[in-house]
């Protein structure tokens, strides 16, 4: 039996297989509000056969957006705009839904990728960014304001409010974005955090605010709601955040009630040197899986069914998440199931599409489940 198509639990959340769709920013919101693009984009991914779909990084405050086109959830109006998308998915797909909540910190106020992605200064149509320390992400970019206690409290409250809205919307899980050089990662890394108070310096101090945010979110939603964290396991810069610190952070999160770790890397510094290749981040997921009791989700150029199956067979991760590969092939789980001799759920409207040699590929879609 294929491990990729075997069930797994992320805390209280039961999943039918071990394929996740990773969060992918779409830069297509209107003042943070979901648009018809989200209905189309998320709707077609929801029919993929994957077990869980993570929505894109969703800002908890207006200044926490990466770009002015980022999705947000900082008001009830934002929840109302997203609700029809979730309701449509629930009507037609059994896929579990997770939301990734985040704050971009000093990497906010940027152009969308297809317009270059560069930092936009406040005087040029951008906004003032905030961060643990007043260090710009890259030379020539606007310097962020160093967060004081009041600013940190406001951001923590933003995470809590968005977590409550996420639960009210019916999401199955919340993932806190503590990766890719965004705010929580900025607190963790000594490259971006040079504070001299209780939130800087030692590893214990640098972990303090991310852990406070996690604990506040965990307390804000019912115990039966799964809450996990996405982490950059290394900065890929000498003297920066690394896998040894990541293990200690993961262990602290586990003690605080974290249900899973989604293990990525990089993003905090333009000096990073990443040896990109198939499965290049899996060793970090394997290390965190080995040294904690939490399920780990591995990511990073996982494109082939056999590759994904081998990662699970070798115990390097408990699940795999695909992003770009899923955009390129939105039916990747169907094709993986065919290759591995497994079965995948598909809506009855699509049953006629299965090739004759895979006549038992599709199982009936079961709706109305959480």
Please give the Cα distance from 367 to 370 (Å, whole number).
Answer: 9
In whole angstroms, what is the distance from residue 190 CA to residue 200 CA? Answer: 8
DSSP 30: B
Give tens-digit pLDDT for 139-152.
999 999 999 999 99
Residue 275, helix vs strand vs coil: coil
Asked whether 21 and 323 are in contact (CB, 8 A), the reply is: yes
> Phi and psi dihedrals of 356, rounded to 5?
-55, -35
pLDDT at 23: 98
pLDDT value, residue 359: 81
- pLDDT level of residue 366 (50, 70, 90 thresholds): low
The residue-averaged pLDDT of 304-326 equals: 97
Q: Which of 258, 362, 235, 320 is nearest to 54 (CA)?
A: 320
From 27, 182, 199, 249, the catalytic residue: 182
Contact 337, 360 (CB under 8 A): no
Residue 66 contacts residue 57 (beta carbons within 8 Å): yes
- Residue 370: predicted pLDDT: 41
The question of whether 199 is a catalytic residue gets the answer no
- pLDDT of 320 > 60? The answer is yes
Tell me the mean pLDDT in the region 106-119: 97
Give the helix ranges, DSSP H, for the chain: 36-45, 76-92, 149-169, 183-188, 203-220, 243-255, 282-291, 305-313, 324-328, 332-340
Mean pLDDT across 347-367: 83
Task: Write down the pLDDT at residue 360.
Answer: 84
Is 368 a residue whose pLDDT tops 60?
Answer: no
Closest of 32, 27, 48 to residue 337, by C-alpha = 48
pLDDT at 69 over 80: yes
Task: Quote the pLDDT of residue 367.
Answer: 62
Residue 182 CB coordination number (10 Å): 25
Q: What's the pLDDT at 365?
A: 65
Strand partners for 229: 176, 261
pLDDT of residue 369: 43
> What are the C-alpha distances in Å from 167 to residues 71, 124, 227, 327?
17, 37, 11, 27
Find the mean pLDDT for residues 174-197. Answer: 98
| Mean pLDDT computed over 158-164 | 98
Contact 99, 73 (CB under 8 A): yes
Instruction: State how far the Cα of 7 lies from the Cα of 225, in Å rounded to an integer.
Output: 18
Q: What is the pLDDT of residue 356?
A: 85
pLDDT tens digits along 261-298: 999 999 999 999 999 999 999 999 999 999 998 999 99
- Residue 66, classed as helix, strand or coil, is coil
159 neighbors 217 (Cβ within 8 angstroms): yes
Residue 56 clears pLDDT 70, i.e. is over it: yes
Domain 8-364: give its CATH code.
3.20.20.70
At residue 322, the pLDDT reads 98
**pLDDT score at 45:** 98
Task: Please check the confidence at residue 334 and state whether its pLDDT lies above 80.
Answer: yes
CA atoms within 13 A on the CB side of 352: 1
| pLDDT (tens digit per residue) in 204-249 | 999 999 999 999 999 999 999 999 999 999 999 999 999 999 999 9
**C-alpha of 244 from chain center:** 21
């Amino acid at each position: 039996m294929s491990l990729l198509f075997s069930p797994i639990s992320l805390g209280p959340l039961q999943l039918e297989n071990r394929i996740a769709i990773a969060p992918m920013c779409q830069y297509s919101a209107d003042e943070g509000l979901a648009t018809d693009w989200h209905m189309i984009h998320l709707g077609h991914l929801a029919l993929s056969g994957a077990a869980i779909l993570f929505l894109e990084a969703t800002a908890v405050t207006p200044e926490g957006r990466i770009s002015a086109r980022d999705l947000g959830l900082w008001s009830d109006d934002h929840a109302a705009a997203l609700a029809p998308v979730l309701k449509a998915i629930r009507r037609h797909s059994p896929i579990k839904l997770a939301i990734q909540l985040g704050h971009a910190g000093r990497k906010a106020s940027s152009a969308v990728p297809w317009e270059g992605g560069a930092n936009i200064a406040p005087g040029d149509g951008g906004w003032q960014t905030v961060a643990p320390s007043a260090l710009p992400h890259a030379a020539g970019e606007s310097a962020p304001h160093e967060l004081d206690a009041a600013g940190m409290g406001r951001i923590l409250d933003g995470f809590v409010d968005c977590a409550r809205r996420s639960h009210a919307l019916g999401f199955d899980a919340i993932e806190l974005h503590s990766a890719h050089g965004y705010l929580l990662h900025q607190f963790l890394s000594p490259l971006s955090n040079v504070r001299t108070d209780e939130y800087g310096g030692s590893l214990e101090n640098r972990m303090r605010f991310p852990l406070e945010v996690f604990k506040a979110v965990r307390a804000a939603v019912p115990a039966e709601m799964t809450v996990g964290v996405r982490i950059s396991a290394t900065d890929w810069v000498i003297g920066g955040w690394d896998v040894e610190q990541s293990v200690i952070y993961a262990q602290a999160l586990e003690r605080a009630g974290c249900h899973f770790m989604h293990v990525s890397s990089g993003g905090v510094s333009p000096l990073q040197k990443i040896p990109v290749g198939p499965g290049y981040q899996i060793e970090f997921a394997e290390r965190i899986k080995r040294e904690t009791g939490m399920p780990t989700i591995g990511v990073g150029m996982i494109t082939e069914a056999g590759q994904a199956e081998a990662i699970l067979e070798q115990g390097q991760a408990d699940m795999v998440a695909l992003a770009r590969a899923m955009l390129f092939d939105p039916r990747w789980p169907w094709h993986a199931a065919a290759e591995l001799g497994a079965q995948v759920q598909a809506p009855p409207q699509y049953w006629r599409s299965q090739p004759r040699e895979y006549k038992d590929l599709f199982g009936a879609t079961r709706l109305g489940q959480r």
